[in-house]
C-alpha cells in the first residue's frame, strides 16, 4: 500500500499508519466501517488498534487496551483515528467515554462519521477539554469507509469491479481464449476479494467461454465461511440440464439476472424448478437496470458487497451506471500489441475524452510483478483540463 509517505507531515504519517491498520479488519467488520487507531507519545507510535470484527471492540478501545498492556501513560499521548469516535451506545459503549476516562488530551480524526446516530464525538470531546483536530488525510480515510457510506446512503450492495490487463489494455488475445494475464500473487489477492463479498458477478460470455466456478479458493477459510453466490448477467439462459458448473453443481446458490421477458419464459421456469434463482431486471437508459439487482441482493439475501469479474462489456455497464464503487485494477507488465485483442473495457460508445468515465487513484501497491491500483469514482465537482494530444 502507498499513501505517499515520503512527502507527509508527521500527523499525516501517523494517520497513514492508522489507515493501514483499518484495512486489516475489512473482511470481518461489515456492516460496520473499518477503522484504525494509533497512540503517539513524543513522536513515536506506542500503541495500535483496529476494529477487528462486527460486534468487537472499536479501534479506539483496541488501541487503548494495547496501551494499557504496555503500561503507557495515555495522559501524555495523542490518539490518531481514521473515523470520528462514536458517541452513542450500540453493541459497545461510546468510544468518547473511553478516551475521556484515560485522560487522552489530544485526538486527531481523519474523517467525520457519516452515520448521524454515531456522530457528534468530536463536539463531545471538545466540550470536555480534549483538543480535537479533524480532516487529516480525510479523503484517504473516507475511502476506507466507502462501502459503509454506500450502505448508509443507498439500499444496494457495494460494488467492487475487478479487472486485470496488459499494459496496452488487453485481457485476452483475438480468440478470447482464457489465459492468465496477471501473476500468481494477483490471483491470490483476487481470492481475498472473493472472501469479503457475498456474490461474484460475471456476464454470459464469461459463463459460456470459461465455465467458472466463482468460488473463493483461499487457504484457511474460517469454518463459518459461506462461498459467494454466482450471479450471471445474460439474455441467453442455459438449459436446466446444462453441464455448466453454475447450473449443475451450484444450482442452489446461482442467480441469473436477465431481462423481464426472458425471466418469464420456459427456460427460466425450468431453471427455477432446479432451485436456481432467475431475476428479471427492468431496462433503463443504460441497459439492464443493474442497480435493481444490487438492491435485491441486499434486501433479499443480505449481501453487502459484490465483486464483478465480468468481461469488458459488463464492466463498462457497471461504470456507465455509476455502480463501480471501487475498481481494483491489476496492471500486468506485459504488452500484447495486437489491435484485435480483447479490451479491458468496451461498449461505451464514447467518442471523445470529454465523454470518458473518470476515476481517481485511491492507493496502490505491488502485487508480485504486477501493479495493483485501487480506483474510486472521481468526485463530481472535479473537472479535468489539459492540452495537447494525449499529454494532459
Catalytically active residues, by annotation: 60
Q: How many CB atoms lie within 10 A of CB 79?
A: 31
Instruction: In whole angstroms, give the CA distance from residue 375 to residue 314.
Output: 18
DSSP reduced 3-state for 360: strand
CA 210 centroid distance within chain: 25
Alpha helices in the chain (DSSP H): 10-23, 26-29, 59-69, 95-102, 121-127, 138-144, 146-153, 184-195, 204-210, 245-248, 260-263, 266-273, 290-301, 312-320
Q: Does residue 113 contact residue 86 with C-beta atoms inside 8 Å?
A: yes
Torsion angle defined by CA atoms of residues 44, 3, 146 and 77, in that order, rounded to the nearest 10 degrees? 10
- Buried b / exposed e over 156-178, threshold 16 CB at 10 Å, is bbbbbbbbbbbeebbbbeeeeee
- Cell numbers at residue 366, please? 505491488
Q: Does residue 197 contact residue 307 with C-beta atoms inside 8 Å?
A: yes
Instruction: In whole angstroms, give the CA distance from residue 333 to residue 149.
Output: 34
* Burial label, 18 (beta-carbon count in 10 A; 0-12, 13-18, 19+): buried
Mention every residue, 6+ apart, whose C-beta is less than 8 A from residue 319.
161, 345, 348, 357
Q: Does residue 164 contact residue 188 with C-beta atoms inside 8 Å?
A: no
Instruction: In whole angstroms, give the CA distance from residue 115 to residue 144.
Output: 15
C-alpha separations of 251 from 225, 254, 264, 292 in Å:
19, 5, 19, 22
Instruction: In whole angstroms, give the CA distance from residue 324 to residue 317.
Output: 9
Amino acid at each position: 500500500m502507498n499513501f505517499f509517505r515520503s512527502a507527509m507531515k508527521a500527523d499525516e504519517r501517523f494517520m497513514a499508519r492508522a489507515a493501514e491498520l483499518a484495512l486489516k479488519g475489512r473482511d470481518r467488520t461489515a456492516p460496520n466501517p473499518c477503522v484504525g487507531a494509533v497512540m503517539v507519545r513524543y513522536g513515536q507510535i506506542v500503541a495500535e488498534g483496529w476494529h477487528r470484527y462486527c460486534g468487537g471492540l472499536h479501534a479506539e478501545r483496541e488501541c487503548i487496551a494495547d496501551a494499557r498492556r504496555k503500561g503507557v501513560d495515555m495522559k501524555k499521548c495523542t490518539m490518531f483515528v481514521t473515523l470520528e469516535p462514536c458517541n452513542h451506545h450500540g453493541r459497545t459503549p461510546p468510544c468518547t467515554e473511553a478516551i475521556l476516562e484515560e485522560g487522552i488530551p489530544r485526538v486527531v480524526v481523519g474523517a467525520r462519521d457519516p452515520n448521524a446516530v454515531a456522530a457528534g464525538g468530536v463536539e463531545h470531546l471538545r466540550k470536555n477539554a480534549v483538543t480535537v483536530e479533524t480532516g487529516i488525510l480525510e479523503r484517504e480515510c473516507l475511502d476506507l469507509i466507502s462501502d459503509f457510506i454506500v450502505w448508509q446512503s443507498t439500499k444496494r450492495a457495494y460494488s467492487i469491479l475487478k479487472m486485470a490487463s496488459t499494459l496496452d489494455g488487453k485481457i485476452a488475445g483475438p480468440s478470447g481464449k482464457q489465459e492468465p494475464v496477471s501473476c500468481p500473487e494477483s490471483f491470490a489477492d483476487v481470492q481475498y476479494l472473493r472472501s469479503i463479498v457475498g456474490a461474484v458477478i460475471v456476464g454470459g460470455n464469461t459463463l459460456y467461454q470459461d465455465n467458472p466456478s466463482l468460488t473463493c479458493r483461499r487457504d484457511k477459510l474460517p469454518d463459518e465461511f459461506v462461498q459467494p453466490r454466482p450471479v450471471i448477467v445474460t439474455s441467453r439462459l442455459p438449459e436446466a440440464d446444462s453441464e455448466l458448473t453454475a447450473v449443475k453443481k451450484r444450482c442452489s446458490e446461482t442467480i441469473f439476472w436477465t431481462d423481464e421477458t426472458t425471466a418469464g419464459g420456459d427456460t427460466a421456469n425450468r431453471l427455477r424448478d432446479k432451485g436456481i434463482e432467475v431475476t428479471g431486471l427492468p431496462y433503463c437508459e443504460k441497459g439492464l437496470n443493474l442497480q435493481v439487482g444490487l438492491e435485491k441482493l441486499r434486501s433479499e439475501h443480505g449481501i453487502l458487497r459484490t465483486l464483478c469479474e465480468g468481461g469488458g462489456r459488463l464492466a463498462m455497464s457497471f461504470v456507465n451506471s455509476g455502480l463501480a464503487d471501487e475498481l481494483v485494477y491489476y496492471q500486468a507488465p506485459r504488452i500484447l500489441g495486437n489491435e484485435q485483442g480483447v479490451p479491458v473495457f468496451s461498449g461505451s460508445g464514447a467518442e471523445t475524452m470529454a465523454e470518458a468515465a473518470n476515476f481517481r487513484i485511491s492507493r496502490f501497491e505491488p502485487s508480485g510483478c504486477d501493479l495493483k491500483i485501487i480506483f474510486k469514482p472521481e468526485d463530481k465537482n472535479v473537472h479535468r483540463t489539459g492540452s495537447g494530444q494525449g499529454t494532459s
